[in-house]
Amino acid sequence: MPYRVCFVCTGNICRSPMAEIVFRARLADEGLDTLVETDSAGTGGWHEGDGADPRTVEVLRAAGYPGAHLARQFRAEWFSRLDLVLALDRGHLRELRALAPDPSDAAKVRLLRSYDPAAGADLDVADPYYGGIEDFEECLDSVERAVDGLLEAVRTEVKERS
């Protein structure tokens, strides 16, 4: 059974699809894409069925990341099939842990930037939605740095399962 990861932000049109697409590309580069499944969702359903924010798409394409995306809302019943739920900021972390059916599911929720040793105490990925393209570029930088550490942690989990 594959290791399953879900990235979660507010509306699933900026940060979480960016993290999903970056992580999926890194998994493919490392040959882990058949062992790890990744997706994303939002804590709210305002954008369900919409594509990623055009600025997200622009920044990802400029950095060489392929991928299409349709927004959806995270559901409590997903916890049973997920191994790791990655919140993009502390607000999402609180919401997801409160949504978790039991303590073991709540323990699956972590902050993405906790995998970036250089993050220090600043563990939120800043929301670029109300900013300009430079805010989306900064978001991508934060995501890429955290994904490096996440990849190592997931690689270890996958090896332990084998």
Give catalytic residues, as residue numbers.
Answer: 9, 15, 127
Beta bridge partners of 36: 3
What distance in Å separates the CA atoms of residue 62 and residue 76, rounded to the nearest whole number?
34
Whole-angstrom Cα distance, residue 19 to residue 146? 9
Cβ-based neighbour number of residue 142 at 10 Å: 22
Q: State the sign of the Cα–Cα–Cα–Cα dihedral 72, 91, 38, 66.
A: positive
